[in-house]
Structure 1
Amino acid sequence: MAKAPDVVDLLALAVERGASDLVITVGLPPMLKIDGEFHPTEYEPLTPQETRRLMYALMDEKQQRIFEEEKELDFSFSLPGKGRYRVNVFLQRGSVGGVLRVVPSTVKSFEELGLPKNIAEIAMSPRGLVLVTGPTGSGKSTTLAAMIDYINERKACHIVTIEDPIEFFHKHKRAIVNQREIGSDTKSFHKALRSVLRQAPDVILVGEMRDYETIAAAITAAETGHLVMGTLHTNSAPETIDRIVDVFPENQQEQVRVQLSNNLVAVLTQQLLPKAFGGGRVLAYELMIATPAVRALIREGKTHQLRSVIQTGGQYGMITMDACLADLYKRKLITYEMGLARAVDPKEFMRLAGAPEGARR
């Protein structure tokens, strides 16, 4: 086994092998995540000195200082001709480690990503709140980039993105696109959101709605006539509504429900699953559109009833995660076991998919 080369060669290897992530940690060779599974590279396990060398090679002096003070750092990194990467560097057991996410060099279309047909209509909404949710690595940033690109190609407007870090670079097409990165262009999401309303935006992208201040500012921006797109780490539309409401003090929650009911456009929840055959991954999603029935349930705090509205809302383009998984199984894109493992309600998935002979129950 050879010693690990420099980080540039490892990043090129990640792109060459179609990896989504490169993981650098002590005691293992550099690891590549391909189609959701980790694979070792053909190098020796890394020492603390090597992990430090590899990760420090990606940071400039300012970033190194911030990392040494904060013990962790997010940033983006570009290699001319090889690609762009989202980097998280951290300490673990006193040694430097890192995860480098490969950012695709081009923004894919809705069709290429397997997104629902009415996502174009959602992206072109004149105002309101559009939420894309799901676990880490479920393609949320990729979906939002596709939505921004779709608007950019079709609408003369001002788009402001607030990201940590910037992943996809957007050129000015029909729209003016200003992209702000946490740390280098602004101090935090909520500070950037406070000032963005003075920047004459039409569309605002909030990379991550993590806390009370950011969520409150995003709702206010949607309420004042802007289209606001954001992400949360939630696994269903009802959970998303509950998560937003729960970050507010109890005496504000009723008002927040009213604001959400008036301003929500849609919630798209995603997960990426390994394909049954041929490698690669496929998108599974749940889509809730803010119809009058959905708005009423949000306003009344009856989020537990939202699932039944999504189940019966097919004429509006709504679909539950379980119905989407069952459809992917019927189209032979995923295995039955994978659909069952990722289902929100396994019994509902089994009913929709039609349990095959010999399937685990």
Structure 2
Amino acid sequence: MVPNRGLETETTQSEAALRLNRWLEQLVAEKGSDLLLIADAPASIRVEGETCKIESTPLTGPEIEAAVLPALAPHAAENYRQDHIADASYRVPGLGRFRINLHHERGRAAAAIRALPSKVPSLAELNLPPGVGALAQLKRGLVIIGGATGSGKTTTLAALVNEMNQRDSRHIVTIEDPIEYEHTHVRSVIEQVEIGADAPDFPAALRAALRQAPDVIVVGEMRDPETARIALSAAETGHLVFTTLHTTDAASTVSRIADSFPQERQHSIRAEMAMALSAMLTQSLLPRRSGGRIPAAELLMVGYGARQHIRKNALQHLHQEITITRKVGSFTLEESLAQLVAQRELTREEAMVRSIHPEDLDTQLKAKGF
């Protein structure tokens, strides 16, 4: 009798796919944030920022690919086959939703898979400084949330959308790659567009959104000059636009956008930013004294002075503008850190290490008796 090789292959593939779900079950059980699958290393998870092995046997690239590829949506799987990199959302009934990044390193498959919360968080639950809530009350302009990878930018963005949804009757369009938080319609009507599944790329989705009569547009990440150009135009024409960037403060946020354009366009882009920007928030997640992590942040509400500095490319003065515009809601990173130390959430030593202007922080801590 000739063995049924097709059935054998199908069974092997099914077992490989089930292996991913078993890893994800362990990730959820351990309250981890990420599952890391890297060739020549055992499967690992991140729990409160620490990496822990959940198996003892090193994985191979083909094993990782066999486990993860079936979980990708067709458009993401095609992206991976063409470019060796893909992002997708993945739902396991009864377990939760996950964000998959399947990629290559040293010519072999690797994956980073993040657990996505089932509930959209409130701003209060994120322990962000109270002033951040003012961003959800803006009516127009560009709001940029900056921070390193894993600093909670997307979560803050989702919480701001949730805040508007609970309070205002607005039409909100989000553009994401992939969708991380699923919003329900409360007082607002929310459309969530996923790159790949619903639109080919951010510029195309953003252009389409402008034809959908939105009050608010949320762009998951400003990845390229064309997306930046359309977002600036949308903000200048009266829309409220939120987006994120991998930046550490207001000055680097402006520089990052301007520098993405050819040099001959940078002056005009800075002029557009000066007109369009309403606020720039940057944040980071720090180790909490009681365990877990807590955000520290800096917020510049963009006023006349900041607009002049942006237009003239005098970005070194933006930090001073935060102090000048404190009455309208701005606050420095040092003020945020000092408050966390005063609340016994952060050690003085950790705060000093994280500070951009440690001399300012030292003065504030001494004034608070620390």
TM-score, normalization by structure 2? 0.89
The question of whether the paired residues in 2 share the 8 Å contact of 1:264 and 1:290 is answered with: yes
> C-alpha offsets along residues 179-203 of structure 1, whole Å, 9 cap, x if unaligned?
1111111111112112221111111
Which residue identity is paired with 1:346? P
Amino acid at match of 1:230: T
Structure 1 residues 239 and 48, CA gap change in structure 2 (3 angstroms): closer
Query: Does the CA-based 8 Å contact 2:44-2:55 persist in structure 1?
Result: no
1:329 paired residue among 319, 341, 354: 341
Residue aligning to 1:23: 36
Q: 1:238 aligns with which of 242, 251, 272?
A: 251
Q: Does 1:166 find its partner at 2:160?
A: no
In structure 2, the partner of 1:107 is 120
What does residue 121 of structure 1 align with? 134
How far apart, in 1, do the equivalents of 2:56 and 2:223 lie?
37
CA contact (8 A) 2:120 2:182 kept: no
Residue 6 (str. 1) matches residue 19 (str. 2): yes
Cα deviation code 1:115-168 (max 9, x no counterpart): 232333321211111111100101111011111111122222211111111111
Q: Which residue of structure 2 aligns with residue 97 of structure 1?
A: 110
Residue 187 of structure 1 corresponds to 200
Q: Does 1:53 align with 2:75?
A: no
Q: Aligned partner of 2:33: which letter?
A: S
Gaps of 5+ in 2: 1-15
The 1-side partners of 2:356 and 2:127 are apart by 20
User: Residue 352 and residue 305 in structure 1: after superposition, are their counterparts in 2 closer, same or farther (change >3 A)?
Assistant: same
Equivalent in the alignment of 1:219: 232
The alignment-based identity, stated in percent, is 40
CA distance in 2, matches of 1:248, 1:71: 27
Deviations 1:243-288 (A, max 9, x none): 22222333333332332222211111010011122x1110010111
> Residues 350, 37 of structure 1: CA spacing in aligned structure 2 closer, same or farther, 3 A cutoff?
farther
Give 4+ residue runs of structure 1 displaced > 6 Å after superposition: none
The answer to which of 73-82 and 248-257 deviates more is: 248-257
Q: Counterpart of 2:313?
A: 301
Q: 1:252 corresponds to which residue?
A: 265
Give the stretch that moved more between structures: 147-156 or 61-70: 61-70
1:64 to 77, 99, 104: 77
Corresponding letter in the other structure for 1:59: L
TM-superposed CA distance for 1:354, in Å, is 4.2
Name the aligned partner's letter for residue 319 of structure 2. R
- What is the letter of the counterpart of residue 309 of structure 2? L
**What CA distance in whole angstroms lies between the structure 2 residues aligned with 1:217 and 1:60?**
28
Tell me the distance in 2 between the aligned counterparts of 1:328 and 1:76. 34
CA contact (8 A) 1:203 1:228 kept: yes
Task: Name the CA distance, whole Å, in 2 between partners of 1:160 and 1:294.
Answer: 28
Q: 1:351 to 1:118 in 2, by over 3 A?
A: closer
Distance in 2, matches of 1:280 and 1:248, equals 39
Q: Summarize the Cα distance change of 1:110–1:61 in structure 2 as closer, same or farther, 3 Å threshold.
A: closer
**What secondary structure sits across from 2:211 in the alignment?**
helix
Change (3 A) 1:25 1:172: same
Paired letter, 1:138: S
SS in 2 for 1:199: coil
Residues 135 and 234 in structure 1, CA contact (< 8 A), matched pair in contact too? yes
Residue 60 of structure 1 and its aligned partner are, at CA, apart by 4.8
Q: Structure 2 CA distance, aligned partners of 1:312 and 1:223?
A: 24
Which segment is superposed worse, 126-135 or 9-18? 9-18
Structure with higher Rg: it is 2
Q: 1:353 to 1:39 in 2, by over 3 A?
A: farther
Unaligned runs of 5+ in 1: none
| Residue 87 of structure 1: aligned partner | 100
SS in 2 for 1:6: helix
Matched, 1:176 2:189: yes
Contact 1:26 1:47 in 2 (8 A): yes
- Map 1:193-204; keep pairs closer than 5 Å: 193-204=206-217
Give the superposed CA RMSD: 2.4
- Alpha-carbon contact 1:193-1:218 (below 8 Å) kept: yes
1:223–1:53 CA distance, 2 compared to 1 (3 A): same
Tell me the distance in 2 between the aligned counterparts of 1:195 and 1:5.
38
Partners of 1:227 and 1:7 in 2: CA distance: 40
